[in-house]
Amino acid sequence: MGRLILITLSCFTKNYYNLREHGLSILALGNWKSWMAPPSIVEFILTLVLREAIISVSPTLQGSVHLGTKGCLCDFSASLEDTKFKVLDGFVCSYCRAALQTDGFAILADELVHQGLCHFNKGRMLNENRLKRYAQTFPFLI
């Protein structure tokens, strides 16, 4: 069964921004403010969608993995404000790489970094050509 991702500009109580339940992921980005840029809200959305895609294929990484913020795509960030580090840094740490390899997705980390995250990290906006390449690289997200 697939995972449905709902992206909304609403807010959850207690400043949560992500909820996963019964194959549904909700990204509630109502607490994103323009002063958080860079990265833009589009870059936040794309990074968080990549994270949700990983949990749909990797049982090992389905929960929040890191308690500290180190810039890995699988960081747990209690607030949307701290999420910007995973958006800006755009990498997958060695622990998560090993977990992806264990789950049979050894090259996924490199594909995410080189084909996905590097196209929009460091505050660069996606242009139409980059978005097309992104869609071709990760067709399972479309």
Contact status, residue 126 vs residue 119, Cβ threshold 8 Å: yes
Is a pLDDT exceeding 90 seen at residue 134? no
3-state secondary structure of 32: coil
3-state secondary structure of 125: coil
Structure tokens of 122?
């460091």
Residue of 47, 45, 60 lying closest to 106 (CA atoms): 60
pLDDT in tens, 60-100: 888 767 777 778 888 887 778 888 888 887 788 888 889 99
Hunting for tokens 């906006």 — which residue is that? 125
pLDDT in tens, 117-128: 555 544 444 444
Contact status, residue 73 vs residue 112, Cβ threshold 8 Å: yes
Is a pLDDT exceeding 50 seen at residue 48? yes
Q: What are the residue ranges spanned by the domains of the chain?
A: 4-141
pTM of the predicted model, to two decimals?
0.75
Average pLDDT, integer, range 104-120: 71
